[in-house]
Structure 1
Amino acid sequence: MLDTNLTGALLGIRGTAPSMRKAGGGVVVNVNSIGGLTAAPGLVAYSSSKWALRGLMRAAAKELARDNIRVNSVHPGIIGTPLAYAPDGSELVPVADFAIPRQATPDEIAGFILFAASDEARFATGAEILADGGFMLGPRRLTLRKVGL
């Protein structure tokens, strides 16, 4: 998990930064996850690697900014791919109570990545773009017990 989610990103940045410097600048966009912003049972290795990716992104953003290289991350929520479903076809993370009660499409997340890489985001570095359908807001239907005064 660490090799894929952290070491791969580090090697990618190290491998491309010299070319970006020669070109006068560039953009790195790391695809992170809501798992890098919160914890979930059973996902210790995944969440740890994504939290570490946040640190890498911020350190690289600071180190490379003077070379006109921006480094940002996109944090997708649940995306409608086979990975979002159990073998029986049920959603691994039910989205009915999200603020936007559906899974994202891969194209929607690609749009966030394209924005982060574009000149429209030229003043952003070290930024974390949340694309989660409101997952981090918590459930829409929150039942609170009334307390009388």
Structure 2
Amino acid sequence: MSTWNMESAIVPVTGAASGIGLAVCERLRATGATPLLLDWDEQKLHVATKQVYKDSDESSRFCYLVDVRDSRAVDECFVSIARTHGPATHAVAAAGIVQPADILSLTDESWQQVIDVNLNGAMYFCRAAARHMAEAKRGSIVNIASIGGLSARESRVSYVASKAAMINMTRAMAIDLGGFGVRVNAVAPGVIDTPIQNRNRGTFQNITERVALKRIGTPNEVANVTLFLLSELASYVTGSTIVVDGGMTASYR
């Protein structure tokens, strides 16, 4: 099998109904893999699955309605995936939310919601995937983190905390799973043109001035790096975080 040929890959992807998660699924599908779309928005999930599997009359076989905050539901989802498609060989944790608030206005509820999705949900998903992969003695997991996990900005206390934890969790999982032949890496996107970013577009009017490439990134550009980490091209890469931000964090301004 060539390094880019992923025809035998079974790849669950969370947050797959839109944005980076959807782009990852489309990119995987183009390489011959079987991306499985996981999300908690049923309507968007079915639309996205039909978009990825345009040539299939049974697109519903490739999507799973699941709330990553529910560890039991995540575990059951992987059992269902194994029953229908075979055990997962790769996995991408792309689900994430943002609830802007500074430390003075941050509520317990808002903090918990972000941590539950961005960190706990990612852990539940990765743990379930890792158990299948460790048994098979192979696999690759990619967590979609953020440059917010490497630095901070105003009114993002919960978000940057969750993404920083995700990056270090990625390192720890890579150490735990390396002996099983399972790789774990992260991608840290900068400002990417996604539905979440669109809701906050007014706060990013001058963002391109801070980016070396003078433009906002696209979900496909993040998906390309994710595919690299999933593939055998990255066979000796684990515990790493690749920044995809157009050079935004290269400057100390």
Calculate the TM-score normalised by the size of structure 1: 0.86
Aligned to 2:244: 131
What amino acid sits opposite 2:191 in the alignment? I
Structure 1: which amino acid aligns with 2:204? L
Is 1:27 the counterpart of 2:117? The answer is no
Q: CA deviation at 1:21?
A: 1.8
Corresponding position of 1:58: 171
Count of residue correspondences: 139
Tell me how far apart the structure 2 counterparts of residues 60 and 75 of structure 1 sit (CA, whole Å): 17
C-alpha contact (below 8 Å) 1:71/1:125 kept by paired residues? yes
Deviation at 1:86, TM superposition (A): 5.2
CA distance in 1 between counterparts of 2:222 and 2:202 reads 22
Q: Secondary structure at the match of 2:187?
A: strand
Q: For 1:44 and 1:3, locate their aligned partners in 2 and report how far apart those are by CA, in whole Å.
A: 14
Are the aligned partners of 1:30 and 1:72 in contact in 2 as well (CA < 8 Å)?
yes
Give the match's secondary structure for 2:177: helix
| Secondary structure of 1:63's aligned partner | helix
Q: Report Cα offsets for 1:112-144 as digits up to 9, x if no partner.
A: 1101111000101101101010110127xx7xx
Write the mapping of 1:74-93 to structure 2, written as runs, cut at 5 A.
Answer: 74-85=187-198, 90=202, 92=204
Percent identical across equivalent pairs?
37
How much is the aligned-residue C-alpha RMSD, in angstroms? 1.7
1:16 has 2:129 as partner: yes
CA deviations 1:40-86 (Å, max 9, x no partner) are 01001000011111121111000000000000000001111232245
Aligned to 2:217: 104
- Residue 45 of structure 1 corresponds to which residue in structure 2? 158
- Cα deviation 1:5-50 (Å, max 9, x = unaligned): 1111111121111211222210010000010010101001000011
Structure 1: 4+ residue segments shifted above 6 A: none
- Opposite residue 192 of structure 2, the aligned amino acid is I
**Larger RCO (CA within 8 A; separation ≥ 6):** 1
Contact 1:85–1:91 (CA under 8 A) maintained in structure 2: no
Residue type of the alignment partner of 1:90:
G
Name which of structure 1's ranges 55-64 and 17-26 shifts more when overlaid on structure 2. Answer: 17-26
Spell out the pairing of 1:107-126 with structure 2 (5 A cutoff). 107-126=220-239
Structure 1 stretches lacking a partner, 5+ long = 143-149
2:208 aligned partner = 95
- Give the letter aligned to residue 123 of structure 2: L
1:96, CA displacement in angstroms?
A: 2.5
CA contact (8 A) 1:28 1:70 kept: yes
Can you give the 5+ residue segments of structure 2 that lack an aligned partner in the other structure?
Answer: 1-113
